[in-house]
Amino acid sequence: MTDTTKTPPELEQLLADLKPDNADLLAVLHRIQDAYGYVPPQAIPLLAEKLHTTPAMIYGAISFYSEIRREPPARTTISWCSGPACRLKGSENMRRALEAVLGIGLEESTDDKAVGLHLVQCDGTCALAPLVRLDGHPKGPLTVSEAIRLARELKGKEGQP
Amino acid sequence: MMTYRELRQQAEQTWQAVESPPRPRIAVGVTTCSRAVGADETLEAIRQEVSRRGLDADVAVTGCWGLCYAEPMVEIAKPDGSRILYQQVTAERVPQLIEEALASPDGVCQELALGAVSPQPVDGVRPLSSLDFMAVQEERRLMNNCGVIEPESIDHYIARGGYEGLSKALNMPQEDVLWEVSDAGAGLWGRGGAAFPTARKWEFLRDAKSEPKYMIGNADEGDPGSFVNRTLMESDPHGIIEGMIIGAYATGASYGYIYIREEYPLCVERMELALRQARERGLLGESILGSGFSYDMEIVRGAGSYVCGEETGLISSVEDARGMPKIRPPFPAQSGVFAKPTNVNNVETYANVPLILRHGAEWYSSVGTDDNTGTKMFSLSGHIQRVGVLEVPFGTPVRRLVYGAAGGPPEGRSLKAIQPGGPLGGILHADNVDLALEPEPFREKGALLGSGGLVIIDDSACIVDMCRYFEWFAEDESCGRCSTCRGGTQRMVEILRRIANGDGRPSDIDLLRLLADAMRYANCAHGQAAPTAVMNSIEAFLDEYQEHIEGKRCPAKVCHGLIRYEITGKSYGLPEAAAICPTAAIVQQDDDYAIDQALCIKCGACRELAPAAVHVVDAFATSD
Ligand SMILES: Cc1cc2nc3c(=O)[nH]c(=O)nc-3n(C[C@H](O)[C@H](O)[C@H](O)COP(=O)(O)O)c2cc1C
Ligand code: SF4
Ligand code: SF4
Ligand code: FES
């Protein structure tokens, strides 16, 4: 996860060696997201200039990818696996319960930005189905009750300043 | 620069220390699936335990045998030649393992022992090859190194014959390399789903006029439930790289990309390292092995888009654009990346190539069937007892994988369906469990063998619900270019949703057929194949659809629009059930509890805690 205690390097620095027609965009998007936690809007015109294209084209590319964020992530992200093995083992029930406890839908964060829900695809850890990934670490197999307790705990913990 | 022979000699010395270890060697398999159950912690615990006890032992990191269900796995090899694999070695179990296995020279931790890496039992431990999951795998070719070598050591790969195929190829005319791979030779075809003959594709690239030419490895592996490419990249990365270099030599490509999906960070790490090591040894870059042939490549990391696995979508993505599939012609061999000639193959396809060059086309085609030579990797998940990855010759019956290797559905359940090749691959009735694993029999049933995912479905599942999921996936991942695909998947999801909610209409089945017909005109295989599972299932599971539409009943009691949770009876679990309910739908009146149906979201948590009292009933049950 992003280390928020450090100030990220300047965007210009992260974009320094970009060249058009060099398969650089995805790499730099990952680099920016690793540093900032998301791709800030001010990166778009800079990217367009470096890659000799228009901001609209860059925005179009960025918005195409579900793993590139255009907003800062919540402090904790619960990534819910939408895959088939998880579904067969009750992930849909788990999703509804998580949404109800947190009061948000997928791709949303609680008002205080404490917890976010994110839909992810199967990464082949289906032996743990149904699972969620908590800041990237798989947790499973989870019962619905366990998922509810997890969400309540995260919400409650963050509630105190 | 070293010759191949010199590289091999040097590598064999390193490997010697693994084959006949001078002191005990403890190897932890570290891969995505083992990390998920704590392999990193196991590794750390082993390091600490070894140093705490002052043991003279080596600790190493290996890859994955494919036995996901047994992770984290640890292999202990001893100077006397015994090699034993232990299963489910979580960090807490490390002290026990080390105590029992290493306290005496012939110690074995029987409780955790999974199998011995030898044809005979060792110290009372059965051979690994006798495990049900391994026994169905007559010959592991692509997976020969998986779990065995250290994936971060190029020397291990080379010592076991790696890069020998490349060294041979570089001394052959390009034409002969193509012949080895071609239908006349090995008969290799693409493992990415379309089953197109590989050498024919390579000839298109070779014959293209423009320069430079690109050789691309497709490791997007977007099909949910498929994780065979991941296993290869994490456990034996050089096989893919060697195959790509040979392909580049045969076609005159000078640069390449390996496109790896975002979900596989460990693959990116290991492939990056493997590329660096290959470059250091003169196996990649300028004048490979002194041959005068130059080729290099880099990794592109995806960002969560399924259609970027489609070859022209992948090309768009590499070109810094939205990863939308393109309209063909022109075909990639004429105009691919940066409008230059390009070849895209699946990474498993490439991994076959070094083996063909090394052992010859005849050896290669000695397993499989007449039409489909060689082996294929499959990943097994869903309602089975043992999740994992394995490799079998083409033509192996599905049954051997489902029941033999994976142990079939859990106790008390029966097989209902098999879902091959990802969400677009279709869904087969359990009656087809004797089908041979090769493209033709699957195609005859209107399904696709696909790239290796097999999701096993038992009778607790609802087919309408699963098809709704497959169609939702297709809708969610559609790039939006074609109205047939974008709109077609949307309409299908709408129809399936209303069927699942009890609002289905008798005409809906025909409507689904009509939509599927129109979707055949979509630009790429994403839209064209999106209706596959729905079309399969309205044939094979028509009564289940009818039951939803006409009976307003979900026979498996899954579709939440058609069920209701009710409390009938008493249970000590009820107070806890009331407390867990995320919507406070369980109300207490004196000693009795009841569910407020207006609040209940049908998540089932209460039933987990008070199974004796909470029941699922049909929402629209008429008298029975
Ligand atoms: C929607 C869609 C997704 C695909 N995803 C993949 C993928 O993840 N990996 C892959 O190798 N091929 C995928 N393919 C197939 C590729 O388009 C292409 O046929 C394949 O990479 C060619 O390699 P092969 O000849 O070695 O099979 C996909 C196709 C479609 C239509
Ligand atoms: S068929 Fe679907 S995924 Fe393929 S190009 Fe058309 S809209 Fe895009
Ligand atoms: S099914 Fe879920 S929402 Fe409904 S009563 Fe039970 S716990 Fe509450
Ligand atoms: S389906 Fe969830 S990890 Fe595979």
pLDDT at B569: 87
- Which ligand is closest in space to the CA of residue B342? 1
Q: Interface pTM (ipTM) of the complex?
A: 0.95
**Count of the separate structural domains present in chain A:** 2
B112 and B169 together in one domain: no
Is residue B80 domain-shared with residue B185, that is, in the same domain?
no
Q: Are residues B444 and B297 in the same domain?
A: no
Task: Choose among A21, A60, A148: nearest Cβ to B338.
Answer: A21
| Ranges of chain B with pLDDT below 70 | 622-624
Residue finishing a domain among B101, B135, B169: B135
pLDDT at A154: 95
Please identify, among A64, A84, A101, the residue that sits at the C-terminal boundary of a domain. Answer: A64
Whether residue B37 has its Cβ less than 6 Å from ligand 1: no
How many angstroms separate the alpha carbon of residue B523 from the centre of ligand 1? 15
Any idea which ligand is nearest the CA of A124? 4
Q: Is B142 within a domain?
A: no
Both B247 and B197 in one domain: the answer is yes
Please report residues of B whose CB lies closer than 8 A to that of A96: 560, 601-603
Q: Are A93 and A43 within one domain?
A: no
* A146/A124 same-domain check: yes
Q: Indicate whether A101 and A150 sit together in one domain.
A: yes
* Chain A residues lying within 8 Å of B260, measured CB to CB: none
Residue B603 beta carbon below 6 angstroms from any ligand 3 atom:
yes
Domain termination residue (choose one: A64, A88, A104): A64
Size of the A and B interface in Cβ pairs below 8 Å: 166
A86 & A122 share domain? yes
Q: Give the pLDDT score at B225.
A: 96
Nearest to A127 among B68, B419, B469 (CB): B68
Are B453 and B478 members of one domain?
no
Ligand nearest B343 Cα, by number? Answer: 1
- Whether residue B527 has its Cβ less than 6 Å from ligand 2: yes
Task: Flag whether B50 is in a domain.
Answer: yes
Find, in chain A, the residue whose alpha carbon is nearest to that of B298.
Answer: A23
Whether residue B379 is contained in a domain is answered as yes
pLDDT of residue A158: 52
Give the nearest chain A residue to B315 (CA atoms).
A23
Please answer whether residues A87 and A57 qualify as being in contact, where contact means their C-beta atoms are separated by less than 8 angstroms: no
Instruction: Chain A: give the shortest CA distance to residue B47, in Å.
Output: 22
Ligand 2 atom nearest residue B307's Cα: 3
Same domain for A91 and A60, yes or no, is: no
Residues B284 and B178 in one domain: yes
Indicate the top mutation candidate among B244, B346, B347, B479 to test ligand 1's pocket, ranked by most ligand atoms within 8 A of CB.
Answer: B346
Tell me, yes or no, whether B476 lies in a domain.
yes
Which numbered atom of ligand 4 lies nearest the CA of A91? 2
The answer, yes or no, to whether any atom of ligand 1 lies below 6 A from the CB of B145, is no
CATH number where A126 lies: 3.40.30.10
Distance of alpha carbon B580 from alpha carbon B592, whole angstroms: 17
Number of domains in chain B: 5
In this structure, the answer to whether residues B396 and B478 fall within a common structural domain is no
Q: Would residue A36 count as lying in a domain? A: yes
Q: Are residues B316 and B215 in the same domain?
A: yes
Evaluate whether residue B597 is within a structural domain: yes
Q: Name the residue range of residue B608's domain.
A: 560-618
Domain shared by A106 and A130, yes or no = yes
Residue B381, φ and ψ in degrees, nearest 5: -150, 180
Are A102 and A149 contained in the same domain?
yes
Considering the domain architecture, whether residues A50 and A121 belong to the same structural domain is answered as no
Contact B387, A127 (CB under 8 A): yes
**Crossing angle of the two packed helices B174-181 and B198-207, in degrees rounded to 10:** 150
Of B528, B549, B570, which residue constitutes the final position of a domain? B549
Residues B393 and B360 reside in one and the same domain: no
Q: What's the mean per-residue pLDDT of chain A?
A: 93
Distance CA A2, CA B80 (A): 47
Give the CA distances from residue B271 to residues B42, B153, B231, B522, B599, in Å, rounded to whole numbers and listed in that order: 23, 11, 12, 35, 50
Residue B622: its pLDDT value, please? Answer: 61
Predicted local confidence at residue A3, as pLDDT: 52
B87: closest CA among B100, B60, B69? B69
pLDDT at residue number B386: 97
**A58 part of a folded domain:** yes
Check whether residue A51 and residue A80 sit in a common domain.
Answer: no
Identify whether B53 is part of a domain.
yes
Q: Give the CA dihedral B78, B80, B81, B85, nearest 10 degrees.
A: -40
d(CA B527, ligand 2 centre) in Å: 5
Question: Would A140 be classed as within a structural domain?
Answer: yes
- Cα distance from A93 to chain B (closest Cα, Å)? 4
Q: Is B313 helix (H, G, I), strand (E, B) or coil?
A: helix
User: pLDDT-based confidence at A161, cuts 50/70/90?
Assistant: very low
* Three-state DSSP state, B72: coil
The rounded Å distance from CA B582 to ligand 3 centre is: 7
Domain span holding position A35: 9-64
Regarding whether A103 and A55 lie in a shared domain, the answer is no
Residues B24 and B49 in one domain: yes
The per-residue pLDDT for B328 is 94
The span from the CA of A67 to the CA of A62, in Å, is 9
- CATH code of the domain covering residue B442: 3.10.20.600
- Asked if residue A70 belongs to a domain, the reply is no
B205 and B278 share a domain? yes
Would you state the pLDDT for residue A160? 47
Residues B131 and B186 in one domain: no
Q: Whose CA is nearest to atom 6 of ligand 1?
A: B309
- Of B189, B190, B266, B276, nearest to B231 by C-alpha is B266
Are residues A84 and A57 located together in one domain of the fold? no
pLDDT tens figures, B392-410: 999 999 999 999 999 999 9
Is residue B566 included in any domain, yes or no?
A: yes
Residue B574 sits in a domain whose CATH number is 3.30.70.20
At A44-73, the pLDDT tens digits run: 999 999 999 999 999 999 999 999 999 999
Looking at the structure, tell me whether residues A83 and A147 fall in a common domain: yes
B29 forms beta bridges with B62
Looking at the domain assignment, is residue B140 inside a domain?
no
| Mean pLDDT score, A15-34 | 96
Name the residue of B317, B475, B479 to mutate for ligand 2: max ligand atoms within 8 A of Cβ.
B479
Look at residues B458, B474, B489 and tell me which one is the last residue of a structural domain.
B458
pLDDT for position B321: 96
**Best residue in A21, A64, A86 for a mutation probing chain B (most B CBs within 10 Å):** A64
CATH number at residue B193: 3.40.50.11540
Residues B428 and B540 sit within 8 Å (Cβ to Cβ): yes
| Mutate which of A86, A119, A120 for ligand 4 pocket (most atoms within 8 A of beta carbon) | A86
